[in-house]
Structure 1
């Protein structure tokens, strides 16, 4: 199926895939740690939040950006009405996501055993929860559903996948199969194991993007190359972050060049992992435009040309986000 014949779910409705432009595939708009909205020392001034996010999205667009994916899932500040307004005002397409994870960030309801004997929420319940946000619209709590989610995002516990995390991953994979949207996963300690969990649900590998692969431990273990070999998409999504846990941008650029030289340029995705507005935690304050302004020159220095960059920044994310016929 041609990518050009498909559409992508944005907060303003389906958009032809070829209209997305440059895509930032793993970002956050409003990111609120669950419960922070009730804290006495946390303010949620809607007008102020709008102004900050609008300025950052306009900067992204001014530097050539076309589409931003908010991959924070259901309960970390997602505000569909706000995102609709921002998209209209800035001209940036916004793709919002459903999904949850890891276990430690789930609300108590989703950790309460629903079976006898007690077990974690079964995968099928998560699958139904996520799929309905694609087919019926994303929940605005206690009010309505608005807009179709364009991605199912989930994450595993950093120290290793828990039983609840596994239910989340399997539920995400089943929702992806049922609705035709892709699945974005952030692995725990073992990226290959975590990828295998969703592939075990018969989700095609090219419908999966594995994020966080510029984590130093995962890169050192050879995970990016092996995940690409398995047919999944490789996301280096903390571009600009240089700390003990992550590669430097120079090392990221070397990794992109290595993957491209191995024949996997069609599986590479890039993002900053920036936080537009963070509440209850310290966000990543880099601009959404950092890939375009600072990282692309490093890739050119390593020999990547216009066609390579077009594939990585436009064609690959377009293929990922295009909704396929449900199975």
Structure 2
């Protein structure tokens, strides 16, 4: 069912939700491993980065794409002014995110504030940090604030939720509840448990997307269907990745079809977790157009109709990203 709200927060400001077109919900544009921007052997040439990203976004648009969501959060290379220029140049809507996580990727400031003994930031402090990025604009460090974040994204440690992870998730959920943007949580060892933490903050399940549900362990545990049954969105967001940790595309397409047949068509989201430009780490050099060019035919081979795929690629992300 479509939501009543008509706008989505993009880096160029609110746009009508109906203008998004095909949306790739979990991607990275410029991804910088925290600290790499200070490394002597890492070059960050913004003109070169712009040209690389512009080419990839134009390819996405040429194959029918309309909107890219950069779901990397605050301190992993997000460059709002660069994204504004890219959106104007390519015609692709860009939704940027606030949020942080998991604990291992936080800077020390967020791990050991001035308390004795050091304690994790409380959820309300993370909520204040993230909420300001939605209501006042995303921070360009030490310079200014720009456009509003369109998503709050966090992640739980793969080995299981830590105390800091829980503070992050609760703070992110409070931000979503207070601002009307959606919450994306990349689950740790137990996706259903992690969703439960967000729901404990009184955030409606329909405002949550659980990321990484094409991980092999999550699929084996039946998490995708259970997450959908609880009313949250199921992100199969490593399309094109077959690394042993995640299921391959054939199994991924079969899983999507199974969810559709079970009545969960309105809960499925697709993405490639592609990295446009990676610095300080090895990115996933997959075209943003991969879902459209390679994966959609696999869905069709599983019996999904054009209406099914359009709902998954257009309607579901539109409803998720619409500010309520």
1:6 Cα deviation (Å)?
A: 1.4
Superposition pairs of residues 215-294 of structure 1, within 5 angstroms? 215-294=215-294
Aligned counterparts of 2:40 and 2:20: Cα–Cα separation in 1 = 40
Secondary structure of the residue aligned to 1:167 is: helix
1:114 Cα deviation (Å)?
A: 4.2
1:163-196 Cα distance to aligned partner (Å, 9 max, x none): 0000000000000011000000001111111111
**Structure 2: 5+ residue runs without aligned partners?**
none
1:5 Cα deviation (Å)?
A: 4.4
Aligned counterparts of 1:206 and 1:146: Cα–Cα separation in 2 = 28
Is the 2:254–2:302 Cα contact (8 Å) retained in structure 1? yes
Aligned counterparts of 1:118 and 1:35: Cα–Cα separation in 2 = 22
Aligned counterparts of 1:241 and 1:54: Cα–Cα separation in 2 = 23
1:122-180 Cα distance to aligned partner (Å, 9 max, x none): 00000000000000000000000000000000001010010000000000000001100
Aligned counterparts of 1:183 and 1:5: Cα–Cα separation in 2 = 16
Q: Which residue of 2 aligns with 1:58?
A: 58
Q: Which residue of 2 aligns with 1:146?
A: 146
Q: Which residue of 1 aligns with 2:128?
A: 128
Aligned counterparts of 1:84 and 1:66: Cα–Cα separation in 2 = 15
Aligned counterparts of 2:310 and 2:109: Cα–Cα separation in 1 = 43
Is the 1:4–1:16 Cα contact (8 Å) retained in structure 2? no
Aligned counterparts of 2:300 and 2:133: Cα–Cα separation in 1 = 40
Aligned counterparts of 1:187 and 1:3: Cα–Cα separation in 2 = 26
Q: Which residue of 1 aligns with 2:86?
A: 86
1:234 Cα deviation (Å)?
A: 0.1
Aligned counterparts of 1:199 and 1:117: Cα–Cα separation in 2 = 30
Q: Which residue of 1 aligns with 2:183?
A: 183
Once the two structures are overlaid, the 10-residue window that deviates more, 65-74 or 2-11, is 2-11
Aligned counterparts of 2:267 and 2:68: Cα–Cα separation in 1 = 18
1:243 Cα deviation (Å)?
A: 1.2
- What RMSD, in angstroms, separates the aligned Cα atoms of the two structures? 1.0
Residue 296 (structure 1) aligned with residue 296 (structure 2): yes
Query: TM-score, normalised to structure 2's length?
Result: 0.98
Q: Which residue of 2 aligns with 1:173?
A: 173
Q: Which residue of 2 aligns with 1:158?
A: 158
The count of residues paired between Structure 1 and Structure 2 equals: 324
Residue 205 (structure 1) aligned with residue 205 (structure 2): yes
**Structure 1: 5+ residue runs without aligned partners?**
none
Superposition pairs of residues 2-13 of structure 1, within 5 angstroms? 2-3=2-3, 5-13=5-13
Q: Which residue of 2 aligns with 1:22?
A: 22
Secondary structure of the residue aligned to 2:84 is: helix
Aligned counterparts of 1:281 and 1:150: Cα–Cα separation in 2 = 26
Q: Which residue of 1 aligns with 2:98?
A: 98
Aligned counterparts of 1:9 and 1:238: Cα–Cα separation in 2 = 24
1:203 Cα deviation (Å)?
A: 0.3
Is the 2:2–2:319 Cα contact (8 Å) retained in structure 1? no
Aligned counterparts of 2:239 and 2:262: Cα–Cα separation in 1 = 21
Aligned counterparts of 2:33 and 2:117: Cα–Cα separation in 1 = 31
1:63-122 Cα distance to aligned partner (Å, 9 max, x none): 000000000000000000000000000000000000000000001100113445542100
